[in-house]
Chain A
Amino acid sequence: GNSVTQMEGPVTLSEEAFLTINCTYTATGYPSLFWYVQYPGEGLQLLLKATKADDKGSNKGFEATYRKETTSFHLEKGSVQVSDSAVYFCALGGYQKVTFGTGTKLQVIP
């Protein structure tokens, strides 16, 4: 079946540092890939997505590229802010249900 593996947290960074959260997946067919973000006390919301190989999703300074050859969808941001502190979920979608990773908690300190 489908699976998503993302790096364990928590990740603690200073403001303006570079962020990478690794995500790899196992899937049959051609899934869509997502990054969702959950701010404290809220539900998940879509951060970005990519629907085919080599697509790059981007939003709010975050980027991730759908790499079929390495089955990866790593999340990056060049300069994080305190307001980026949240839990980030990598997810895989296809014909059936969405498969979520375990989430990575990011804490950005001033």
Chain B
Amino acid sequence: DSGVTQTPKHLITATGQRVTLRCSPRSGDLSVYWYQQSLDQGLQFLIQYYNGEERAKGNILERFSAQQFPDLHSELNLSSLELGDSALYFCASSPGTGSYNEQFFGPGTRLTVL
């Protein structure tokens, strides 16, 4: 158990809909990272937050947004969903801002868009 929790575990929705994925980092970790893992694209970094502020941005679509709240949990919002958004979405956390130290991954949310 990494200490990172993600809800829901599974999500099935239709094209055009909007969903919210939730992540609670390990106790004491200030950074939260979001990743998308699909069969054809591998593991893609989406975005990082540190102590409530956006820190780094990766291959995140404009239809996707995220935020980190004062209690440090984070939410990833996916809107106008397309079939190609079906994937595993992972959240990870780490104590600091940089990535010299390891990240702790949650179990993931499996999103299926029908």
Contact = CB atoms under 8 A, between A and B. Distances in A.
Interface of A: 31-32, 34, 36, 42-46, 49, 51, 89, 93-98, 100, 102-103
A32 B43 contact: no
Given A43-B106, A44-B90, A93 B101 contact: yes
A93 B100 contact: yes
B98 interface: yes
A98 B90 contact: no
Contacts of A32: 99-101
Interface of B: 2, 4, 33, 42-43, 45, 48, 56, 58, 90, 92, 98-108
B43 A103 contact: yes
- Where chain B touches its partner, the secondary structure class is loop
Contacts of A51: 100
A38 to B, nearest CB: 8
A46 B103 CA distance: 8
Most buried by B among A43, A49, A89: A43
19 contacts: A32-B99, A32-B100, A32-B101, A43-B4, A43-B90, A43-B92, A43-B105, A45-B2, A46-B103, A51-B100, A93-B99, A93-B101, A96-B56, A96-B98, A97-B45, A97-B99, A98-B33, A102-B43, A103-B43
